[in-house]
Amino acid sequence: MGTAEIDFNYPAVFNFGDSNSDTGGRVASGLESISPPYGETFFGRPSGRFCDGRLIIDFLLDAMDLPFSNSYLQSVGAPSFQTGTNFAAAGCSILPANPTSVSPFSFGIQIAQFLQFKSQVLQLLGGSTKHRKYIPNADSFSNGLYMFDIGQNDLAGAFYSKTEDQIIALIPTILLEFESGLKKLHDEGARKFWIHNTGPLGCITQNIAFFGKDPSKLDGMGCVAAHNRVARLFNLQLHALCTKLRHQFSDSNIIYVDIYTIKSDLISNYAKYGFEYPITTCCGYGGGWLNYDSRVPCGHTATLDGVGPVTAKGCNDTSEHVNWDGIHYTEAANYHVALRILTGKYSDPPFSDKMPFLLKPKY
């Protein structure tokens, strides 16, 4: 097996995904607002990210010497898209949204937004030069990196209405939709693809709280076994799709990144990596092993059963926790995951012998 052609010298990055890489899309859309303590660790205020600080994508872009990625939906604050843009939106899925979906910005919509973005950029490049410091060059679309971290919501959301076998049967349909989007991007000149698989869904605190009440449903890590089985099967088929597309897109570079192994290793060996709490929510309410109550989201105040008001507050030291708000990881955990990604050892093809740097975070 050869090594991947990674030079970390991209003129632009175009990202597609859900809350794992959303740098402000959902908040900018008006579908949801987030309040302190979100963003407190790094930004000092909510930044549109569902985290206390930076996301994995923030650390990866830092490693590429690129600025943070502005959301395509952001319109205030004079956002620059010269080094790409981010189409990710929290709650979105690969499959088209339906009336009960958390987000309307499915993968197909994100692809459509990219096509609109590219069309507008090329139109502006053909006119006045005054916009050029805010938009990518024309060759950025062929030389840029296309990143993907999506699929988690298709699987996790399905568990509320489907059996494990029904969800497994749905995986090929989900991946067919994903493949269709990738082919559209390839038709538009995309040649460098970086695809994250999905993490151990059964280890997300929200899923343990809802589906793990019966201890027999949990695995050795204390995670919901069925969710993790489905995630692994999804990843096997996603990996196979990436292998197939390498043959179909012989002019392209497709890197598959095994996020599942990185995250499950972190949760299994949390103490080795300097964490105290692998599952317990940092910003939550209820105490105990999970410190999570879906009725009181992070930063919110509510009255529960006539008792209250009660508030879901952040913990004293976010660096001790893997989980931030019951669904998403802390900045410290995201930094750990980014470091592991950048070893190149969790990629297919691997790129460990190509690493020109060590990540030096602005910590």
Identify whether the C-beta of residue 23 lies closer than 8 Å to the C-beta of residue 71.
Answer: yes
**Residue 325 bears catalytic tag:** yes
Catalytic residue among 18, 19, 52, 71: 19
Triad 96, 102, 107: Cα angle to 5°:
35
Instruction: Show the tokens assigned to 124.
Output: 């502006």
| Helix spans in the chain (H) | 25-29, 56-63, 107-125, 140-143, 152-158, 164-187, 205-211, 225-248, 259-268, 331-341
CA–CA separation, 35 vs 312, rounded Å?
Answer: 11
CA–CA separation, 142 vs 118, rounded Å?
Answer: 11
Catalytic residue among 103, 325, 336, 348: 325
Q: Report how far apart, in Å, the C-alpha atoms of 335 and of each of 169, 263, 281, 341 are.
A: 34, 12, 17, 10
Give the per-residue SS3 of 320-351.
Answer: HECECCCCCECHHHHHHHHHHHCCCCCEECCC
Triad 13, 129, 85: Cα angle to 5°:
15
**Residue 19 bears catalytic tag:** yes
Q: Is 300 helix (H, G, I), strand (E, B) or coil?
A: coil
Catalytic residue among 186, 196, 321, 328: 328
**Residue 251 bears catalytic tag:** no
Helix 56-63 × helix 331-341 angle, to 10°:
50
| Secondary structure letter of residue 114 according to DSSP | H
Strands 192-196 and 145-149: parallel
Identify whether the C-beta of residue 308 lies closer than 8 Å to the C-beta of residue 302.
Answer: yes
Q: Is 231 helix (H, G, I), strand (E, B) or coil?
A: helix
What count of other Cβ atoms lies within 10 Å of the Cβ of residue 234?
24
Q: Which residues contact 100 (CB under 8 A, 6 or more apart)?
A: none
Identify whether the C-beta of residue 179 lies closer than 8 Å to the C-beta of residue 44.
Answer: no
- List, by residue number, the catalytic residues: 19, 325, 328
